[in-house]
Structure 1
Amino acid sequence: MLALVTVSIAGLPRFGLDAGTAAAAGSDACQGKKLIMGTSPDYPPYESTDAKNGGDIIGLDVDIAKSIANKLGCKLEITGMDFNGLIAALQSGRVDFVMSGMSVTEERKQSVDFSNNYYAARNTIVSKKDSPYTTMEQLEGKRVGVQLGSTQETAVAGLKGATIKKLNRIPDLIQEIKSNRIDAAIVEDAVALDAVASNPDLSITMLPSENQEQGYAIAFPKGSTLTPAFNDALQAMDASGEKKHIVDKWFGTKEEQKVNNKLIDFSTLDGYVPFILRGVYVTLLFTLVSASLGFIWGTILSLFKLSSIKPLRWFSTFYTSVFRGTPLLLQLVLIYYATPQIFHYDIPALMAAGLAFGLNSAAYLSETIRGGIMAVDRGQREAAMALGIPYRTMMISIIFPQAVKTILPALVNECVSLIKESSLVSVIGVSELLRRASFVQAANYRAFEPLILAGVIYYVLVLILTSLARLLERRLRRSD
Structure 2
Amino acid sequence: MNKRKLYNGLMLALVLLFALIGPVMNVHAQEAEAPKKKLIMGTSPDFPPFESVDAKNTGDIVGFDIDTANLILDELGYELQIQSMDFNGLIAALQAGRVDFVMSGMSATEERKTSVDFSEPYYYARNSIVSKAEHSYETLEALEGLVVGAQLGSIQEKVAYEVPNPADVRKLNKVPDLVQEINSGRIAAAIVEDAVAVDMTNANPGLVMNFLPSEELDNGYAIAFPKGSPYVEEFNTVIAKFHEDGTFEELKQKWFPEPKNNAGSDKLIDFSVLEGYVPYIMKGVGVTLLFTLVSALLGLILGSILSLFKISGIKPLMWFATGYTSIFRGTPLLVQLTLIYYATPQLTGYDIPALLAAGLAFGLNSAAYLSETIRAGIMAVDKGQQEAAIALGIPYRKMMISIIFPQALRNILPALVNECVALIKESSLVSVIGVADLMRRADIVRADTFRSFEALLLVAAIYYVLVLILTSLARMLERRLRRGD
Contact residue 54 and residue 275 of structure 1 kept, 8 A: no
Residue type of the alignment partner of 1:353: A
Q: Which residue of 2 aligns with 1:7?
A: none
Runs of 4+ in 1 over 6 A off after TM superposition: none
Q: Which of 442, 451, 463 is the aligned partner of 2:456?
A: 451
Q: Which residue of 2 aligns with 1:350?
A: 355
SS at match of 2:154: coil
Q: Which residue of 1 aligns with 2:412?
A: 407
Q: Which residue of 1 aligns with 2:96?
A: 92
Contact residue 147 and residue 188 of structure 2 kept, 8 A: yes
Give distance in 2, aligned partners of 1:210 and 1:270.
38
Aligned pairs for 1:205-224 (under 5 A) are 205-209=210-214, 212-224=217-229
Contact residue 122 and residue 214 of structure 1 kept, 8 A: no
Q: Which of 318, 328, 348 is the aligned partner of 1:323?
A: 328
Q: Does structure 1 residue 149 correspond to structure 2 residue 187?
A: no
Give distance in 2, aligned partners of 1:114 and 1:260.
39
Q: Which residue of 2 aligns with 1:314?
A: 319
Give distance in 2, aligned partners of 1:215 and 1:258.
29
- CA offsets, 1:431-475, max 9 Å, x none? 100121122122222222211111111111111111111111111
Give distance in 1, aligned partners of 2:61 and 2:455.
19
Contact residue 145 and residue 182 of structure 1 kept, 8 A: yes
Q: Which of 269, 278, 284 is the aligned partner of 1:279?
A: 284
Aligned pairs for 1:42-53 (under 5 A) are 42-53=46-57
Q: Which residue of 2 aligns with 1:107?
A: 111
- CA offsets, 1:174-224, max 9 Å, x none? 121111110000111111112112222211121122684441100000011
Contact residue 139 and residue 162 of structure 1 kept, 8 A: no
Residue type of the alignment partner of 2:482: R
TM-score, length-normalised on structure 2? 0.90
* Deviation of 1:31 (Å): 8.1
- The count of residues paired between Structure 1 and Structure 2 equals 452
Query: CA 1:250–1:463 in 2, change beyond 3 Å: closer, same or farther?
Result: same
Contact residue 201 and residue 259 of structure 1 kept, 8 A: no
Q: Which residue of 2 aligns with 1:23?
A: none
Residue type of the alignment partner of 2:477: L
Contact residue 202 and residue 263 of structure 2 kept, 8 A: no
Q: Which of 52, 55, 60 is the aligned partner of 2:59?
A: 55
Residue type of the alignment partner of 1:111: S
Higher-Rg structure is: 2
* Deviation of 1:100 (Å): 0.5
Contact residue 131 and residue 208 of structure 2 kept, 8 A: yes
* Deviation of 1:236 (Å): 2.4
Contact residue 198 and residue 256 of structure 1 kept, 8 A: no
SS at match of 1:203: strand
Contact residue 121 and residue 214 of structure 1 kept, 8 A: no
Aligned pairs for 1:78-89 (under 5 A) are 78-89=82-93
Identity of aligned residues (%): 67
Contact residue 133 and residue 205 of structure 1 kept, 8 A: yes
TM-score, length-normalised on structure 1? 0.91
Unaligned runs of 5+ in 2: 1-30
Root-mean-square deviation (CA, aligned residues, Å) is: 1.6
Q: Which of 194, 201, 207 is the aligned partner of 2:199?
A: 194
SS at match of 1:229: helix
SS at match of 2:124: strand
- CA offsets, 1:380-414, max 9 Å, x none? 11111122211101100100000000001110110
